[in-house]
Amino acid sequence: MISHIMLGTNDIDKSAKFYDAFLGEMGAVRAMENERFIAWSFGKDTAMLIIIKPHNGEAATGGNGTMVALNGTNPETIAKLYAKAIELGATDEGAPGDRGGSFHGAYFRDFDGNKINLFCYV
């Protein structure tokens, strides 16, 4: 159902380096790009995560209450990906751990304030 998710950026080069390294840990690769955006995916006909310079030319901001959740497969992978994001300069929004019931997750914000959740069900 979901084709792609777009996250605004104010520094496409800085964001590209972050997402190349972070999404690369998950096995995603660049699928499309031009001077305004870069998209990553796991292959043809899979959903894409896209960073983009806002079309209206105004500053990109992280949406209040907006979050992108990425399947981390298992708690060990979530811990590894979370550590990679923090190493790359992301801001902690909640270290890996049990979030109640069978939900295990971690949270961080990228350079533009976009909130990312890594999760799995255990």
Residue 75 lies in a domain: yes
For residues 115 and 93, the answer to whether their CB atoms sit within 8 Å is yes
Domain containing residue 76: 4-54+67-121
pLDDT for the residue 3: 93
pLDDT for the residue 36: 95
What sign does the CA torsion over 20, 24, 28, 31 have? positive
Residue 19 lies in a domain: yes
Residue 91 lies in a domain: yes
For the chain, give the longest Cα–Cα distance.
44
pLDDT for the residue 26: 96
Residue 8 lies in a domain: yes
Residue 60 lies in a domain: no
Indicate left, alpha or beta for 94 from its phi (over 0: left) and psi (-120 to 50: alpha): left
pLDDT for the residue 62: 86
Residue 61 lies in a domain: no
Residue 21 lies in a domain: yes
pLDDT for the residue 122: 95
CATH number at residue 89: 3.10.180.10
Domain tally for the chain? 1
Per-residue DSSP letter, 80: H
pLDDT for the residue 1: 79
pLDDT for the residue 41: 97
Residue 59 lies in a domain: no
For the chain (length 122 residues), average pLDDT per consecutive 10? Answer: 93 97 97 97 95 94 90 96 98 96 96 96 96
Numbers of helices and strands, H then E, in the chain: 2, 8
pLDDT for the residue 63: 85
